[in-house]
């Protein structure tokens, strides 16, 4: 049985379990992204580098995307996901040790290792698409992303309730909790069945990567994913620090991130159906419009409500653009080209996210919160223009003879 031809009932069962893995894995990830800048602010002397741990998380993800995808192509999805859990637990515990010893470099190393584990976590969405029949692919991606809805509450709640649990070491217990979440993912994976790639899929080389990349659909899918995730990370990473600068309490910042992550994943209940009904490109375009509205709200004031509304819309806009981009990407490769195409796409996406998180702290520290929003606008506009271009290309192709 081919990886891409699993019977629908079996596919649905496994997609559900993958959604549970995404829920637990993303809870640990959101915890680390939410707290990385705050812990950095405590440990580092130069506050302009406070968000550096978040950069290490996404940098680890970016650098591990290609190895993770290629490794899974050789050993299979399930062993690869289990290895990701081991990396997540190890990185979290090393970061906890960095907090305990007040060593910022050690904390960053732990963040980097955890980030590498996230390269495996991000492949849950592709695993769901690969095992599903063609008509169920966009819904399968959405189902897995729904699993992240749990992270909207679990991650920030764990951060809030473990913040002072091992006082005077703030957030030490939070990172130990992240390691426990990784262990729970490993437990769920024991019940997941993911068929191995066929011999043909493993031995056939497929088209050269340059030929795949030159397809208009790949260009637009990559741009939408890169800019949606990059802008989302840029604003989300800066938000807890910006709210701290505005003298808003930590609980308020945690709630804002909570609703942001809710906005990121709740629409997944219906994003797949919307894509099936209206088309991938229209949904990506709606996501871009929501991002622009988010920036307008962020620029209109710095009250808690401004942060909350802006970040919630940012989450929904990311959901439409990212799921749309993932769905579009599945159209551009053949089974034998799956690993290298997914690897390149995620390298581009998370490389962009790493640059965004690196620039986030500096933009906020030197130029203020408004600069974070303003600098995001050109990238969303470029993604929207790319989608409009692909719509035009497809419309012209539809009218060609034959």
- pLDDT digit string (tens) for 360-372? 777 887 888 888 8
pLDDT confidence of 1, banded at 50, 70, 90?
very low
The answer to whether the Cα torsion of 88, 319, 353, 351 is positive or negative is positive
With CA atoms as reference, report the closest residue to 338 among 126, 62, 22, 141.
126
Among the ranges given (98-112, 240-254, 302-316, 387-401), the one the predictor scored with the smallest mean pLDDT: 240-254
Let me know the angle formed at the C-alpha of 250 by 249 and 254, rounded to the nearest 5 degrees: 125
Tokens of 358: 């690196």
Label residue 2 by pLDDT band (50, 70, 90): very low
* Overall domain count for the chain: 1
State pLDDT tens for residues 178-190: 999 999 999 999 9
For residue 202, pLDDT beyond 70: no
Whole-number percent of the chain with pLDDT over 70: 95
Cβ contact 359:234 at 8 Å: yes
Q: Give phi and psi for 247, each to the nearest 5.
A: 70, 25
The set of residues, in sequence order, having a beta carbon less than 8 Å from that of 103 and lying 6+ positions away, is: 43, 97
C-alpha closest to that of 222 among 116, 347, 129: 347
Q: Is the dihedral of CA 40, 238, 266, 119 positive or negative?
A: negative
Q: What is the pTM of this model?
A: 0.77
DSSP code, position 119: H
Torsion angle in degrees (nearest 10) through CA of 365, 367, 370, 372? -60
Q: What is the mean pLDDT of residues 198-211?
A: 74
- pLDDT one-digit tens code per residue, 228-252: 999 998 898 888 888 888 888 878 8
What span, in angstroms and rounded, lies between the C-alpha atoms of 179 and 189?
16
Question: Cβ(62)–Cβ(74) under 8 Å?
Answer: no
Cβ(32)–Cβ(111) under 8 Å? yes
pLDDT tens per residue across span 262-303: 898 888 888 888 998 999 999 999 999 999 999 999 999 989
Under 8 Å between Cβ of 267 and 320? yes
Q: What totals of helices (H) and strands (E) does the chain contain, helices first?
A: 17, 0
Q: What is the rounded distance in angstroms from the CA atom of residue 188 to the CA atom of residue 181?
A: 11
Distance CA 92, CA 106 (A): 11
Distance (Å, rounded) from C-alpha 376 to C-alpha 381?
9
- Residue 42 belongs to a domain with what CATH number? 1.20.1250.20
Residues 252 and 235: their CA atoms lie apart, in Å, by 16
Contact present, 18 and 127 (Cβ < 8 Å): yes
Residue 95 CA to residue 35 CA, distance in Å, equals 11
Residue count (the chain): 402
Which residues form the domain of 65?
3-398
Which secondary-structure segment (H or E) carries 124?
helix 124-130
For residues 308 and 339, the answer to whether their CB atoms sit within 8 Å is no
Chain segment 305-342, per-residue pLDDT in tens: 999 999 999 999 999 999 999 999 989 988 888 889 98
Dihedral angle, C-alpha 159, 160, 165, 167, nearest 10 °: 90
DSSP 260-329: HHHHHHTTHHHHHHHHHHH-HHHHHHHHHHHHHHHHHHHHT--SHHHHHHHHHHHHHHHHHHHHHHHHHH
- 9-40 tens-digit pLDDT: 788 889 889 999 998 998 888 888 778 878 98
Element spanning 12, H or E = helix 8-43
From the centroid of its chain, how far is CA 65?
12
């Amino acid at each position: 049985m081919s990886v891409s031809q699993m019977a629908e009932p079996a596919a649905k069962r496994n997609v559900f379990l993958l959604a549970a893995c995404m829920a637990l894995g993303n809870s640990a990830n959101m915890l680390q992204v939410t707290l990385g800048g705050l812990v950095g602010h405590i440990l580092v002397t130069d506050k302009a580098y406070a968000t550096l741990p978040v950069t290490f998380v996404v940098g680890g993800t970016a650098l591990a995307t290609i190895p993770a995808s290629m490794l899974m192509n050789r050993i299979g999805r399930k062993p690869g996901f289990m290895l990701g859990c081991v990396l997540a637990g190890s990185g979290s515990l090393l970061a906890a040790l960095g907090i305990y010893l007040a060593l910022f470099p050690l904390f960053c190393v732990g963040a980097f290792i955890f980030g590498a584990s996230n390269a495996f976590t991000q492949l849950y969405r592709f695993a769901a698409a690969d095992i599903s029949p063609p008509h169920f692919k966009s819904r399968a991606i959405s189902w897995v992303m729904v699993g992240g809805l749990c992270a909207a509450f679990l991650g920030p709640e764990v951060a809030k309730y473990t913040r002072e649990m091992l006082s005077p070491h703030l957030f030490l217990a939070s990172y130990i909790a992240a390691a426990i979440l990784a262990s729970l993912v490993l437990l769920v994976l024991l019940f997941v069945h993911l068929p191995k790639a066929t011999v043909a899929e493993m031995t056939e080389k497929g088209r050269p990567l340059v030929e795949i990349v030159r397809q208009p659909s790949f260009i637009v899918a990559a741009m939408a994913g890169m800019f949606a995730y990059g802008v989302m990370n840029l604003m989300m990473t800066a938000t807890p620090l910006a709210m701290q600068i505005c003298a808003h309490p930590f609980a308020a910042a945690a709630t804002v991130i909570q609703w942001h992550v809710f906005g990121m994943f709740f629409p997944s209940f219906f994003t797949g159906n919307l894509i099936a009904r209206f088309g991938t490109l229209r949904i990506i375009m709606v996501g871009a419009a929501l991002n622009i509205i988010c920036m307008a709200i962020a620029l209109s004031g710095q009250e808690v409500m401004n942060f909350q509304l802006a970040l919630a819309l940012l989450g929904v806009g990311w959901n439409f653009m990212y799921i749309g981009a993932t769905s579009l990407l599945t159209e551009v490769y053949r089974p034998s080209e799956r690993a290298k195409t997914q690897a390149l796409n995620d390298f581009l996406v998370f490389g962009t996210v790493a640059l965004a998180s690196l620039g986030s702290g500096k933009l906020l520290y030197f130029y203020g919160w408004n600069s974070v929003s303003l600098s995001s606008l050109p990238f969303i506009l470029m993604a929207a223009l790319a989608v409009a271009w692909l719509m035009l290309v497809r419309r012209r192709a539809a009218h060609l003879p034959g």
